[in-house]
């Protein structure tokens, strides 16, 4: 063990359940971990999933037939599009960085400002958003119902055929299949003590000790609570050029306590979803970790600790269709 790693507290390791007690080795995480492995893929109607997949790639959901869900949520790019701001139907950038669609069904709310509770409601808003798809549900239903391939598919699954609610349900059903299992960290949580390197295990330990886990926990390693952006400093003053989107949940509740409050994002596949934050201000994972330490934790980690935490974060990348993200 290096001198740097040797300085980590044995007491802390014991308290966190990571020390085996024999040979000085890090053991598997205990069963009462704050982080949980992904659940199995839900059992869903295969025909409904396939219809949702087709709709996910259907540009006729947008007002001018140019934009589909897959345009901004690229499954080959971490479930987002790796752009600071996606382009809407009119070719103009939207006001918030596109979050990944992978594992979104596990979030307790949808959108950065957590303004809706379900995937169905999220889909409903995106289609009608004047800066995203720019359409309306009457137009979408009329368009899809006029296409024989959709007429038949909907009628087989839904007795009332093509309706706004059924389009939303099919899309949401497909999105519930977009889970990314088999991250190395999930395998570690499930008992494979050798799947992580020593430094990755110490990165997890430091992730806990510094307090990152206070907000990033649960099945989705985030996505299950609100938090103010700038707990330990005025992030927005330091960044400058304030925008309405920076107000977060205040735009929903008009409660002053919700100013700059956002849904905590999931850290699953975080290494594949740059740039980061609602404003896409962090271009790299290293930049994002720096911002979190400064404005959320009020601490400055050593260079080694930062490197260890980043190594741990990279173990959170799962697989989609058998391919590592």
- Token pair for 139: 């137009």
The pLDDT value recorded for residue 31 is: 56
Q: Residues with catalytic annotation?
A: 132
Range of the domain at 278: 3-32+181-225+264-324
The pLDDT value recorded for residue 181 is: 96
259 found inside a domain: no
* pLDDT (tens digit per residue) in 135-188: 999 999 999 999 999 999 999 999 999 999 999 999 999 999 999 999 999 999
234 found inside a domain: no
The pLDDT value recorded for residue 25 is: 46
Other CB atoms within a 10 A radius of the CB of residue 279 amount to: 22
The pLDDT value recorded for residue 26 is: 52
* Sign of torsion over alpha carbons 281, 285, 287, 293: positive
| Residues linked to residue 19 through DSSP beta bridges, in sequence order | 26
Percentage of residues in the chain having pLDDT higher than 70? 90
The pLDDT value recorded for residue 2 is: 39
235 found inside a domain: no
* pLDDT (tens digit per residue) in 175-194: 999 999 999 999 999 999 89
243 found inside a domain: no
Residue 103 has pLDDT above 70, yes or no: yes
The verdict on pTM exceeding 0.85 is: yes
CB 227 within 8 A of CB 296: yes
Span 109-125, average pLDDT: 98
Residue 124 has pLDDT above 50, yes or no: yes
Q: Which residues of 69-101 are buried (b: 16+ CB within 10 A; e: fewer)?
A: bbbbbbbeebbbbebebbbbbeeeebebbbbbb
The pLDDT value recorded for residue 1 is: 39
* pLDDT (tens digit per residue) in 306-315: 999 999 999 9
Tell me the C-alpha to C-alpha distance, in Å, between residue 163 and each of 59, 118, 177, 222. 17, 18, 22, 33
Span 105-122, average pLDDT: 98
Residue 130 has pLDDT above 60, yes or no: yes
* Sign of torsion over alpha carbons 301, 303, 305, 306: positive
The pLDDT value recorded for residue 33 is: 83
What is the band of 24 on the pLDDT scale with cuts at 50, 70, 90? Answer: very low
Span 235-239, average pLDDT: 98
- The CATH number given to whatever domain includes residue 211 is 1.10.760.10
**Total domain count, the chain:** 2
The answer to whether residues 120 and 23 belong to one domain is no
What is the band of 32 on the pLDDT scale with cuts at 50, 70, 90? Answer: confident
21 found inside a domain: yes
CB 226 within 8 A of CB 262: yes
The answer to whether residues 202 and 314 belong to one domain is yes
Indicate the average pLDDT of the chain.
92
The answer to whether residues 158 and 96 belong to one domain is yes
């Amino acid at each position: 063990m290096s001198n740097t790693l040797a300085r980590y507290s044995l007491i802390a390791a014991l308290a966190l359940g990571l020390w085996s007690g024999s040979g000085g080795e890090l053991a598997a995480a205990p069963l009462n971990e704050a982080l949980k492995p992904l659940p199995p893929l839900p059992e869903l109607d295969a025909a409904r999933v396939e219809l949702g997949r087709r709709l996910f790639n259907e540009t006729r959901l947008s007002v001018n037939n140019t934009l589909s869900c897959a345009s901004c949520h690229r499954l080959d790019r971490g479930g987002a599009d790796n752009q600071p701001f996606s382009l809407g139907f009119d070719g103009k950038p939207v006001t918030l960085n596109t979050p990944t669609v992978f594992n979104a069904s596990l979030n307790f709310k949808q959108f950065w400002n957590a303004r809706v509770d379900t995937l169905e409601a999220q889909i409903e808003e995106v289609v009608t958003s004047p800066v995203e798809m720019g359409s309306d549900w009457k137009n979408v239903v009329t368009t899809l119902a006029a296409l024989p391939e959709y007429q038949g598919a909907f009628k087989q699954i839904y007795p009332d055929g093509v309706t706004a609610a059924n389009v939303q349900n099919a899309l949401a059903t497909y999105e519930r299949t977009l889970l990314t299992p088999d991250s190395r960290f999930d395998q570690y949580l499930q008992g494979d003590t050798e799947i992580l390197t020593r430094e990755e295990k110490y990165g997890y330990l430091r992730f806990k000790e510094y307090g990152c886990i206070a907000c990033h926990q649960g099945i989705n390693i985030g996505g299950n609570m609100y938090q103010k952006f700038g707990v330990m400093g005025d992030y927005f003053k330091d960044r400058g050029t304030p925008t309405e989107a920076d107000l977060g949940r205040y735009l929903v509740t008009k409660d002053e306590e919700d100013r700059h409050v956002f849904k905590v994002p999931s850290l699953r596949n975080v290494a594949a979803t740059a740039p980061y934050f609602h404003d896409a201000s962090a271009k790299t994972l290293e930049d994002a970790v720096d911002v979190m330490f400064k404005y959320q934790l009020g601490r400055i980690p050593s260079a080694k600790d930062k490197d260890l935490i980043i190594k741990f974060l990279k173990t959170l990348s799962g697989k989609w269709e058998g391919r590592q993200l």
